[in-house]
Amino acid sequence: MKYRTIGTDPKTRREVSVLSLGTMHFGTATDEATSFAILDRYVEAGGTFIDTADNYAFWTGTQGGESEELLGRWRRSRGVGGEIVIATKVGARPLAPGTSFTDNAEGLSAPVIRESAERSRQRLGMARLDLLYAHIDDTAVPLGETVQAFAGLVAEGTVGLLGVSNHWAWQVERARTLAAAAGLPGYEVLQYQHSYLRARTDLPGSRYLEGMPGMVGGDLLSYLRAEPQLAMVAYSPLLKGGYVREDRPLDPEFDHPGTPVRLAALREVAKDAAATVNQVVLAWLIGAETPIIPLIGASSVAQLDESLAAVDLELTTEQRARLDAAR
Ligand SMILES: NC(=O)c1ccc[n+]([C@@H]2O[C@H](COP(=O)([O-])OP(=O)(O)OC[C@H]3O[C@@H](n4cnc5c(N)ncnc54)[C@H](OP(=O)(O)O)[C@@H]3O)[C@@H](O)[C@H]2O)c1
């Protein structure tokens, strides 16, 4: 395994593995025994960066909490302590079973942030959440209230690092500016959907006609380049299996002329590197000029093993140039 630092403050920054493991289906679609086996294998391979959210898996008709609860049981049964960084998220939990974050989200008011973080700590069995993200934006709450509420949790020691997911780039910058002006800790870890294939960012999303704020585009990539102390965590880097599986058609945002060109480059480089397409995608992210932390999903140990092997895959300068040039 390889490691890198997320965060800047010596009191809260952490060393994490360059590959992060997502658990959104753990405890629901992925049963407990399989979930524990995947988690054990990840840790055995040196993995130290696990991702969940307070609303996983609400799409099963609940308000979520199953993934955090499973992680709490796994932590207790294995005696896991501070060596494993667990990130969770607040803000997108539906307020009633059977509803969604698109129409009925808990949001990011001060009381919600406080109460939801407390519930996450209980479910996970952690005195301090290592990293807490704002899962989606909440335009009904003044940004200053959200910034103050997150900083309050850091000040009292119940949260370590702060992160942000699925917000427009300007919202991230504004929140960070507000925090900095007030001398408060701000978001330092960004979590967005990102992979090798480029997504059309002009298509309306589930929450905004203007597009999909959760999808990495030029705004966020240039922001990262300008602010190298920020860390980018890329969710769904394997496009949920879409690179390699006929039964996983690519989402409509990848339906454009650049996609076949990039898929062809990917397959060529994979052959050349004697690696799988998925591994090339992960190695391309990890080894980028501005390194990205892929946040993968797996429903079996075999899937996880394939992704873990990508950590040791070093693309040559020529291979990387071929991938970058495809458009
Ligand atoms: N911030 C957010 O809004 C947000 C949104 C989405 C996800 N996330 C986080 O990101 C994590 C990962 O998301 P994701 O599951 O969409 O990531 P992903 O890595 O793109 O997809 C994982 C899925 O791809 C398939 N897969 C993985 N390895 C494979 C292999 N070697 N061969 C064939 N198929 C393979 C599996 O599907 P099957 O299990 O069906 O076989 C697996 O569940 C989540 O658990 C969550 O923590 C965050």
Pocket test for ligand 1, best of 236, 245, 253 (most atoms within 8 A of CB): 236
Encoded tokens for 246: 């006929």
Residue 26 alpha carbon, nearest atom of ligand 1: 45
What value does the CA radius of gyration of the chain take, rounded to a whole number of Å? Answer: 19
Give the pLDDT confidence score for residue 81 in this predicted structure. 93
Protein residue with least CA distance to atom 21, ligand 1: 240
Strand 159-165 and strand 129-134: pairing? parallel
Identify the sign of the CA torsion 75, 78, 80, 86: negative
For 62, residues 6+ apart whose C-beta sits below 8 A from its C-beta are 97
- The DSSP 8-state label assigned to residue 251 in this structure reads P
* Residue 169 φ then ψ, to 5°: -55, -40
Give the pLDDT confidence score for residue 202 in this predicted structure. 85
Average of per-residue pLDDT across 281-292: 97
Whether the CB-CB separation of 296 and 17 falls below 8 Å is answered with no
* Residue 241 φ then ψ, to 5°: 100, 0
Which tens digits make up the pLDDT trace of 118-134?
999 999 999 999 999 99
Mean pLDDT of the chain: 97
Residues facing 14 on adjacent strands: 6
Whether the CB-CB separation of 64 and 94 falls below 8 Å is answered with yes
Which amino acid, one-letter code, is at 281? V
Whether the CB-CB separation of 168 and 137 falls below 8 Å is answered with yes
Q: How sure is the predictor about 201, in pLDDT bands with cuts at 50, 70 and 90?
A: confident
Type and span of the H or E element at 233: strand 231-235
Taking the centre of ligand 1 as the mean of its atom positions, its distance from the CA of residue 243, in whole angstroms, is: 12
Q: Give pTM, 2 decimals.
A: 0.98
Taking the centre of ligand 1 as the mean of its atom positions, its distance from the CA of residue 57, in whole angstroms, is: 13
Give the pLDDT confidence score for residue 324 in this predicted structure. 97
Encoded tokens for 117: 């973080």
